[in-house]
Amino acid sequence: MLHVKNRELVVPGRLLAEGKYLLGEGTFREGNGIFSSVVGLAEVREKRVSVISLQGRYIPREKDFVIGIVTDTHPFGWIVDLNSPYTGNLMVSDLVGRKIDVFKEDISKFLRIGDAIAAEVKMVDERHRVQLLARGRGLGRIERGRLIEISPAKVPRVIGKRGSMLKVLQDSSGCRLQVGLNGRIVIKGGDPKMINSVVEAILLIEREAHLSGLTDRIKAKLEGMR
């Protein structure tokens, strides 16, 4: 039996369903019941009940696309801040794509402290130690663009269902966006005014992520700017 409506705002401890339902994210089971563990919007898809959290830090998961900032180096690579309780480790071979003899070659020419990188989470172990991959299409050092940070919980809204919001953001502004699931977003484009409009649009999405009808409003806003 279902005790919640789709997109209903729920709080921790709220009974969502009883009986044969599947646990989605933001939920836990106790006895026969499925409860919400966070403040968020309930989502029922067939038999799976989840709660999309409206707050919370980014926790790395394998295959996630993230934007990191190099904070330290070690003999074989770099420590990367992920806007998360957990830092990432990037080995030099996962950036450069060839064997490097770290005793002969100085790796500081590839990355320096403070550099931003686009990366994929390669591996997370049970203690949440994170290995990154920054080699391949769209990955690696970020050379230019405007970097902003938003609440990681709001990133799914910036991307939208099957990328719909991201498409609107890019198509109606002419800018290119790299959206890290860790809440960091890089915006590239020729026109600084348009970049500013995209930033404003993203901050609006962040503020009103729990409301519906956002996509159309963002589209109208950006097209009005052009």
Partner 1 sequence: MERPERLIVDGRRLDGRRPDELRPLQIKAGVLKRADGSAYVELGKNKVLVAVYGPKEMHPRHLQQSDVAVLRCRYNMAPFSVEERKRPGPDRRSIEISKVVREALEPVLFLHLYPRAAIDVFIEILQADAGTRTTGITAAAVALADAGIPMRDLVAGISVGKADGTVLLDLMKEEDQWGEADMPIAVMPRRKLVTLLQMDGNFTPDEFRQALDLAFKGIERVYEAQKRALREKYVPASEEER
Stretch that binds partner 1, among 9-17, 102-110, 142-150, 198-206 (CB under 8 A): 9-17
At 174, the amino acid letter reads G
Determine the Cα–Cα distance for residues 93 and 74; give it in Å rounded to an integer: 13
Q: Tell me the closest approach of the beta carbon of residue 39 to partner 1, in angstroms.
A: 5
Q: How many Cα atoms occupy the beta-carbon half-sphere of 74 within 13 Å?
A: 9
Q: Is 83 in the site for partner 1 (CB under 8 A)?
A: no
Output the smallest distance, CB 88 to partner 1, in A. 12
**CB of 100: closest distance to partner 1 in angstroms?**
28
Distance, CA of 131 to CA of 122 (rounded, Å): 5
Strand-pair partners of 184: 149
The pairing of beta strand 40-45 with beta strand 9-10: antiparallel
Indicate the Cα dihedral angle 13, 17, 20, 24, nearest 10°: -60
Task: Tell me the closest approach of the beta carbon of residue 110 to partner 1, in angstroms.
Answer: 25
C-beta neighbour count of 164 within 10 angstroms = 11
**Distance of alpha carbon 153 from alpha carbon 160, whole angstroms:** 13
Sole binder of partner 1 in the list 16, 34, 35, 68 (CB under 8 A): 35
Which of 56, 97, 136, 163 binds partner 1 (CB under 8 A)? It is: 56
Query: Among 112-120, 126-134, 156-164, 178-186, which window interacts with partner 1 (CB under 8 A)?
Result: 126-134
Indicate whether 38 belongs to the interface with partner 1 (CB under 8 A): yes
Query: Which residues sit at the interface with partner 1, rule CB under 8 A?
Result: 9, 11-13, 26, 28, 30, 35, 37-39, 53-57, 59, 85-87, 126-128, 153, 210
